Structure 1
Amino acid sequence: MSGNNKGKKSDKSGKGAEERTAGGSGNHGALSRRRLLGGVGATGAAGLVLGAAGGATGYAATRPEAPTALTSVGSTQVMFHGKHQPGITTPLQTRGHLLAFDLAPGGGRKEAVALMRRWSDVARRLMAGEPADGGAADGTAHDTGISLDAGPSSLTITFGFGHTFFDRTGLADRRPPGLDPLPPFSNDRIDPKHSDGDLWVQIGADDALVAFHALRAIQKEAARSTRVRWQMNGFNRTPGATARPMTARNLMGQIDGTGNPKPTDDDFDRRVFVPAGTGSGYEWLAGGSYAVVRRIRMLLDDWEKLPVERQEGVIGRRKKDGAPLSGGSETTPMDLDKAGPDGRLLIPDNAHSRISSPEKNSGAAMLRRPFSYHDGTAPDGTPDAGLLFICWQADPLRGFVPVQRKLDRGDALSPFLRHEASGLFAVPGGAAEGEYVGQRLLES
C-alpha cells in the first residue's frame, strides 16, 4: 500500500535521492556549508545527500531580526534542478498537498508553456527557501509571508501531465502509451470529479506552513489559466518523533513500505524511471516516471474490531515491528513456503504482503510514497481517513496494474479498503539549469 525506505546516500551518478543541503550558524546568520546534519530521520524512499549550500539558509535566516541558526529539519534543502524531479526519491515528508488542474476553456499549448515557466520559477525559489516572487531578501515584497521564519524544510514541488493534457495542447502524438487509462477494479468506488486532470502537482515539506505557502503560490500562478479540479491534503510522521529512523506506519497502525525498491538496488532505475532512448516522440519523458495516485479510504471502525493476531494475518507481518510472520526482523525476506506445526502456511495465502510481493507478480514492483489523510467524519459517522497512495514506476502496465489486479482477486485487506479517487500522470524528467519542467515536451 505505501512505501518508505531507510536512508541511503546517493552516488554522483544521480542514482538515488535528490541532492539535499543543510548547515549551521555562521557570520551574519548565514548557514555554514561545512556543518553536516545530525539526527534527521530519513524515513522516505532514499536518504540524505549533502550538496552545494545554495539557498539553504532560507530567506528567514537572512532577516536581521532572526539571526539564530535553523534546526536541521528547517534548513534541509532539496535541489530543484537535476536528472529527476524532486519528490520521487526524496524521503517522506511531514505534510503534503496533491492538486489537479484543468486548463481553462480556450487554453492550450501557449498557456501551458507560460504556466510551466511560472511554476518552475516559483518551485525553484521556494525550494531554496527564497520568496515566491523573488522579491527582497527579507520577504517584504509581494510574497504572502506564510512561511517567514522557516527555512526550506525539505520542500519539494513535482509536476505531471494527465491523459487529457495532450489533447488540450495539440500534443496527442507525444502522449506515451503508459498514460492509457487504468482498468477498473472491483473495489473501486471512484468519484470522477476528484480524479484525473490535465495537470498534477505534488507538494511535500517537513513543515505545514512551508507546504501551505507553496500551495498558495502554485494556486496563485495557475489562477489565470486553469481551474482547480481537485485537492487532497495529507501527512506523515514528523522527523525526529521516533528514537531512531523507522519505516512509516499507516492509519491502521501497520508498518508500511518495508518491501519498497531501494535506490541501492541494481534495478531501481529500471523499475522507477523511464530510460533514455525510448524514441517514437517520447524522449521528453526520459528520466521521468509515471505516478499513480489513489485516494484509498480505510474502514477503520471495522479494522479496529479485529484482534491484533487477526490483523497480522491479514497483512502477513507482525504489527509491533513489521517482521514477516515467517520469522526474523522487518527486513528479513519473507519465507512464503514456511508452515507452522499444524501444517498451515505462516503467511496466509491471502495475506496482503504475500499477494503484493514481487515474487508473486513476476517481479512487478513500484516505489510507493504515500501520505495519510483524515478529512473528518463521513455522513455515515465513520472516519473519513486513509491513504493518499502515490506510486512511481517506469511503466504502470508493469508496475501498478498487475499488482492491483492480483490484489483484486483475493487480498485479505481489500474488505477494509475503498478506492475513492484515481489519477495517472506522466511526470517529466528534472529540469536542467535554465530549463522549466516539461520544456522538452512543450517546445518539441
Structure 2
Amino acid sequence: MTDQSAPKNTSRSTRASRSSGGSVPAAGSGSASAVPEPRATDAATGAGISRRRLLGTAGASGLVLGAAGAAIGYTAAPAGATPLTALGSDRAVFHVKHQPGITEGLQSSGHLVAFDLTAGSGRKEAAALLRRWSGTAERLMAGEPAAHGDTGVARDAGPSSLTITFGFGRSFFDRTGLAQQRPAALEPLPAFSSDRLDKARSDGDLWVQIGANDALVAFHALRALQKDAGSAARVRWQMNGFNRSPGATAHPMTARNLMGQVDGTNNPKPKDPDFDQRIFVPGGGRPAWMANGSYAVVRRIRMLLDDWEKLSLPEQENVIGRRKSDGAPLSGGTETTAMDLEKPGQDGTYVVPVNAHARITRPDQNGGAAMLRRPFSYHDGIGPDGTPDAGLLFICWQADPLRGFVPVQRKLDRGDALSPFIRHEASGLFAVPGGAARGEYVGQRLLEG
C-alpha cells in the first residue's frame, strides 16, 4: 500500500490499449485468428445469430440503464434487438507492445494464480503451454469461446474488458534450463518486519493475472487456463479479488480500499514523460527478451480491520496523512493538491505526521522510486473468532523492483504508522515479458531464442 493510486476504475480498456501502442478494433470486429463463430438461436425464427453479431450491435447503440445502473443478462436475441451495454462490449487487445492488464483501468473482478511445472516438464513443455495459453487469452479477450472444451460460462457476455497477463518466477528459469537468461532483477525480495509469509502461497514458476468487469467472464478465463495447463503444470496457489464496479460512483474517482481510505493518489500516468522509463524495460537492454516488459511484485496484505476500526476518524487520517472523505492531504486542498510536508499544526508538529503512510511513500521522499499500482481487494471469509480475512492483493509494476518496490518498502519498514494494522502474508516477484506480436505467443523470445 503506497500513496500511488491505481488506475481509475472507470477507465476504458480502449484508451489504455492506445497508450500501450495497440490499436483497438471496433466491438464485433472479432479475433485476429480465424475461428468459427459460436451460434445462438433466435427463439422466434430459429435463425442462427453469432455472438459476434450481438457484440456488433453495442457500438451502434449503447443501452441506457435505469438510475440504479444495474446491468441485465443477455440471452440470444434477434439482430437489432437488445444490444450489449458498453460495459460488456469494452475490449482490451492481446497483441500490443506491453502485455494487457498493466495500464488498463481497475477491473471489478480478478484472479491471481501461480503454477509450478510438473516433474518431467521442461522448456519444450513450457513453450507448448505458453502457446496454448496465448491462443486462449487472445480468443477470450475478443469475446470468443475457448478453442477446446469451452464451459459456456460466459456465453451470454461480451469481453467485459477481460485482460490476461503472464509472468515468470525465479524458479522457472532453473526448471527450463534457462538460468543464464534469468534477469538480475529477479533476485529474491529482502525480508521485511511486517512479513508473515506463507511459502505455499508465495512465488511460483508461472504467474497469471486475470481481470474483467464481469465475474463470470473472469472465472471463465481462470477455468480455461487451468484446463489448458493439462499435465504440464499444476496450480501452486490462487487468489480472488474485486474492486468497485465501473459506474458505481457518480463520477470517476480513485478506488477505496477495505479500510475505507482513498487508496493512493500519485500513481504514474501514461502521459507522464518518464512513464515508460519507470514502468517498462527498455529495448536493447539485458536480457533482450524482456524488452517492453515489466516486473510485478505481488503481495497478499491482510488488513487487521478490527484494530483499524477502533481508531477514531482523526486517528485514522493521521495514520494515512490524508482525509478519509476525499483523499485530500491533511495540509489542505483536494486529492490532487501537492502535500505540504512542512506545514505546522497548532501544536507545533507537522500537520502531516512524520510517520504518516502518505508522507513516507511519496516518490520525492524515496529518491524518485515509483511504481504503478493496480491492486484488488479480497475477502476470504470470517474466522471462528469473528475476524475477517480481508485486505489487499497488492500488485505493483516497475522497470526494476530493486529501484521501485524495495526502497519504498524498506522505508515503510522503518516507521510507517500503518504497519501495526497490516500483515504481509504472501509474496511473489515475476518477470512479465512484453506483449506478443501477431503470430507469436507470450515468452516466445525467451523460450525459442
TM-score (structure 2 length as normaliser): 0.87
Secondary structure at 2:439 match in 1: coil
**One of 182, 194, 210 as aligned partner of 1:175:** 182
Aligned residue in 2 for 1:150: 157
- Structure 1 residues without counterparts, runs of 5 or longer: 41-59, 135-141
Q: Does 1:223 align with 2:230?
A: yes
Deviations 1:290-331 (A, max 9, x none): 000000000000000101111000000000000000110001
- Determine if contact 2:27/2:91 at 8 Å carries over to the other structure: no
- Determine if contact 1:23/1:35 at 8 Å carries over to the other structure: no
Stretch of structure 1 that moved more, 29-38 or 151-160: 29-38
Aligned residue in 2 for 1:53: none
Residue 252 (structure 1) shift: 0.1
Aligned residue in 2 for 1:51: none
Aligned residue in 2 for 1:204: 211
Q: Given the superposition, is the C-alpha separation of residues 337 and 18 from structure 1 closer, same or farther in structure 2, using an over 3 Å criterion? A: farther
Aligned residue in 2 for 1:267: 274
Aligned residue in 2 for 1:250: 257
Q: Does 1:128 align with 2:138?
A: no
- Residue 223 of structure 1 aligns to which amino acid in structure 2? G
- Determine if contact 2:16/2:103 at 8 Å carries over to the other structure: no
- Structure 2 residues without counterparts, runs of 5 or longer: 29-48, 66-73
Residue 337 (structure 1) shift: 1.0
Q: Given the superposition, is the C-alpha separation of residues 124 and 229 from structure 1 closer, same or farther in structure 2, using an over 3 Å criterion? A: same
For 2:147 and 2:279, how far apart are their aligned partners in 1? 33
For 2:158 and 2:354, how far apart are their aligned partners in 1? 48
For 1:185 and 1:20, how far apart are their aligned partners in 2? 42
**One of 48, 56, 63 as aligned partner of 1:31:** 56
Q: Does 1:321 align with 2:326?
A: yes
Secondary structure at 1:78 match in 2: coil
Q: Given the superposition, is the C-alpha separation of residues 391 and 19 from structure 1 closer, same or farther in structure 2, using an over 3 Å criterion? A: farther
Aligned residue in 1 for 2:108: 94
Q: Given the superposition, is the C-alpha separation of residues 21 and 324 from structure 1 closer, same or farther in structure 2, using an over 3 Å criterion? A: farther
Q: Given the superposition, is the C-alpha separation of residues 227 and 265 from structure 1 closer, same or farther in structure 2, using an over 3 Å criterion? A: same
Residue 227 (structure 1) shift: 1.1
Residue 367 (structure 1) shift: 0.4
Residue 61 (structure 1) shift: 8.4
- Determine if contact 1:20/1:76 at 8 Å carries over to the other structure: no
For 2:240 and 2:83, how far apart are their aligned partners in 1? 30
Aligned residue in 2 for 1:70: 84
Deviations 1:61-91 (A, max 9, x none): 8875995210000000000001000000011
Aligned residue in 1 for 2:68: none
Q: How does 1:51-70 map to 2 (within 5 A)?
A: 67-70=81-84
- Residue 306 of structure 2 aligns to which amino acid in structure 1? D
Q: Does 1:105 align with 2:119?
A: yes
Residue 13 (structure 1) shift: 10
- Residue 322 of structure 2 aligns to which amino acid in structure 1? R
Aligned identity (percent) is: 69
Q: Given the superposition, is the C-alpha separation of residues 90 and 61 from structure 1 closer, same or farther in structure 2, using an over 3 Å criterion? A: farther
Residue 340 (structure 1) shift: 1.9
TM-score (structure 1 length as normaliser): 0.88
Q: Does 1:286 align with 2:311?
A: no
Q: Given the superposition, is the C-alpha separation of residues 215 and 64 from structure 1 closer, same or farther in structure 2, using an over 3 Å criterion? A: farther
Deviations 1:246-275 (A, max 9, x none): 100000000012111111111111110000
Stretch of structure 1 that moved more, 8-17 or 253-262: 8-17
For 1:12 and 1:215, how far apart are their aligned partners in 2? 23
Deviations 1:165-217 (A, max 9, x none): 00001100000000000000011000000000000000000000000000000
Q: CA RMSD in A?
A: 2.6
Aligned residue in 2 for 1:395: 400
Aligned residue pairs total 416
